[in-house]
Amino acid sequence: MRIRGNVAIDLGTVNTLIWVAGRGLVLEEPSAIAVDATTGAVTAIGEAAEVLAEKEPQDIQVLHPLRDGVIADLDATAAMLNGFLRRARPHNGPLRPRALVCVPSGATFVERRSVIAALEARRPRYSARLIDEPVAAAAGAGLDLSGGAGGFVVDVGGGTTEIAAVAGWRVVRARSLRMAGNTMDEAIVHAARSNLGLILSQRAARQLKMTLGLTGGVDGWAETVGLDLAHRSPRVERVPADLVAAALEPTVTAIARSVQEMLSDIPPGLAEDVVRGKVRLAGGGAILPGLASQIEASAGIGTVVVDDPLRCVVRGAALILERRDKNVPGLAQ
Ligand SMILES: Nc1ncnc2c1ncn2[C@@H]1O[C@H](COP(=O)(O)OP(=O)(O)OP(=O)(O)O)[C@@H](O)[C@H]1O
Ligand SMILES: [Mg+2]
């Protein structure tokens, strides 16, 4: 049964998504908040804050309150969540609403507590429960984990890459790598600076990553605009694909190696489920052109990108919230 007001939240380093029972996905915004540097008042959240991030207006500070998938700034996260939930307007009935929030499998006790604290700091107070992201990702990827069935998921987000074998709604083995989309952007910024003498914004680097990826896109180059390192004036530049591929290489190799190591560590009883179900790639980083084939080549088993990878985790959390199955750890707490 759908209980009005219940929400599933994917509180990500780069993007926050909120699903509301009975209404579906209602919010999808960058995890950013802009505050007045003098008064501390919140001036914008989500997309409206993100567009200001790299323009650096005076008196405004743009914060990304999550780092590596967990809360780095509790007050800012609570204010951002509060704003998002007000915007999402879940219809609250007389019962205390429930929130199911995804956290990285490697999150510490303190980090988990801080997510709950952020939700309890608002009115109405939510009864917050946490679920490990890989379990939500597996459900969102279409794996049916009931009856002890298992699968293997890799969620390449902005701050973390979660690599996990799951079975029966539980994590069997997991590794949270603090290397993902943001690391790739930073590597491109660094490469453009040292090889082309060009200072790029993170947004420009991200665009190059999406267009060229590991495969080089359609043209083998992409145009970008940055600041000339020597003259500090704007410069348009054609960036060659091999520069971007070389910058992405260390992160991609680290992810592929971790997948391989994790696969070699699964219990033998899970091997058939994993081979049949294939490695499921989720998260925004899964869309990186060439990533799936590189993982497949090094892992030696089929690797597929799930449908709509950016929404996979919240979709899975919503499915779990709707099942209200006692066997799902997130609901049994
Ligand atoms: N087409 C694309 N190619 C490559 N990367 C992409 C593409 N689209 C989005 N991304 C990257 O995906 C990342 C965001 O993914 P996602 O929303 O899954 O992360 P998140 O859930 O916020 O982070 P985390 O799970 O680490 O907390 C960003 O680094 C973004 O640049
Ligand atoms: Mg995520």
Helix (H) or strand (E) run with residue 75 in it: helix 74-88
- 19 CA distance to ligand 2 centroid (A)? 15
- 135 CA distance to ligand 2 centroid (A)? 12
Residue that is written with structure tokens 């925004």 in the block: 284
pLDDT reported for residue 325:
60
User: Can you give the residue range of the structural domain that contains 29?
Assistant: 7-135+312-332
pLDDT reported for residue 97:
83
CA 88, CA 99: separation in Å to the nearest integer? 13
**Per-residue b/e over 314-325, b at no fewer than 16 CB within 10 Å?**
bbbbbbbbbeee
> What's the chain's length in residues?
333
The residue whose C-alpha atom lies closest to atom 10 belonging to ligand 1 is 284
Q: Are residues 240 and 97 in the same domain?
A: no
Ligand 1 pocket by Cβ (under 6 Å): 12-15, 69, 157-160, 180-182, 206, 209-210, 283-285, 287-288, 310
Among 70, 115, 163, 310, the mutation site with the greatest number of ligand 1 atoms within 8 A of its Cβ is 310
What percent of the chain has a predicted confidence (pLDDT) above 90? 75
Q: How far is CA 196 from CA 28, 191, 216, 244, 258, in A?
A: 35, 8, 18, 12, 31
- 232 CA distance to ligand 2 centroid (A)? 36
Q: Are residues 98 and 11 in the same domain?
A: yes
- Does residue 103 fall inside a structural domain? yes
Cis ω before 268 (30° cut-off from 0):
no
Contact assessment for residue 137 and residue 246, using Cβ atoms and an 8 Å cutoff: no
Which atom of ligand 1 lies at the shortest distance from residue 283's CA? 18
- Does residue 1 fall inside a structural domain? no
Cα 165–Cα 111–Cα 41 angle in degrees, nearest 5: 130
Q: How far is CA 69 from CA 7, 73, 102, 158, 170, in A?
A: 19, 12, 10, 8, 19
Q: Are residues 325 and 242 in the same domain?
A: no
- Does residue 260 fall inside a structural domain? yes
Minimum-distance ligand to the CA of 66? 1
Among 9, 11, 14, the mutation site with the greatest number of ligand 1 atoms within 8 A of its Cβ is 14
Q: Are residues 282 and 303 in the same domain?
A: yes
CA 255, CA 249: separation in Å to the nearest integer? 10
- Does residue 66 fall inside a structural domain? yes
Q: Are residues 55 and 101 in the same domain?
A: yes
- Enter the tokens of residue 288: 């990186």
Question: Would the pTM of this model clear 0.85, i.e. be above it?
Answer: yes
Q: What is the pLDDT of residues 82-100, one digit of tens each?
A: 899 999 877 666 777 889 9
Q: Are residues 160 and 208 in the same domain?
A: no
- 63 CA distance to ligand 2 centroid (A)? 18
- Does residue 26 fall inside a structural domain? yes
- Enter the tokens of residue 68: 């590596």
- φ/ψ of 72, rounded to 5, equals -100, -25
Spans of the chain, pLDDT less than 70: 1-4, 91-93, 324-333
Q: Are residues 317 and 291 in the same domain?
A: no
- 53 CA distance to ligand 1 centroid (A)? 17
Q: Provide the strand spans (E) within the chain.
A: 7-11, 15-20, 24-30, 33-36, 42-45, 60-63, 66-67, 70-71, 98-103, 127-132, 150-156, 161-167, 170-177, 198-199, 221-228, 234-240, 279-282, 303-305
pLDDT reported for residue 121:
78
- 265 CA distance to ligand 2 centroid (A)? 24
Minimum-distance ligand to the CA of 292? 1
The residue whose C-alpha atom lies closest to atom 21 belonging to ligand 1 is 12
- Does residue 2 fall inside a structural domain? no
CA 138, CA 270: separation in Å to the nearest integer? 14
Q: Are residues 256 and 243 in the same domain?
A: no
Looking at the 3D structure of the chain, how many domains does it have?
Answer: 3
Q: What is the mean pLDDT of the chain?
A: 92
- Does residue 21 fall inside a structural domain? yes
Q: Are residues 99 and 150 in the same domain?
A: no
Q: Are residues 166 and 277 in the same domain?
A: yes
Among 9, 10, 15, 202, the mutation site with the greatest number of ligand 1 atoms within 8 A of its Cβ is 15
Give the list of residues 6+ apart from residue 172 with CB closer than 8 angstroms, or none.
150, 164, 165, 166, 266, 267, 270
Which atom of ligand 1 lies at the shortest distance from residue 14's CA? 22
Q: Are residues 152 and 33 in the same domain?
A: no
CA 214, CA 242: separation in Å to the nearest integer? 8
Q: Are residues 112 and 208 in the same domain?
A: no
Minimum-distance ligand to the CA of 181? 1
- Does residue 99 fall inside a structural domain? yes
- 327 CA distance to ligand 1 centroid (A)? 30
The residue whose C-alpha atom lies closest to atom 12 belonging to ligand 1 is 284
- Enter the tokens of residue 127: 């009864």
- 180 CA distance to ligand 1 centroid (A)? 8
Q: Is residue 48 classed exposed, middle or buried when 0-12, 13-18 and 19+ CB atoms within 10 A define those classes?
A: middle
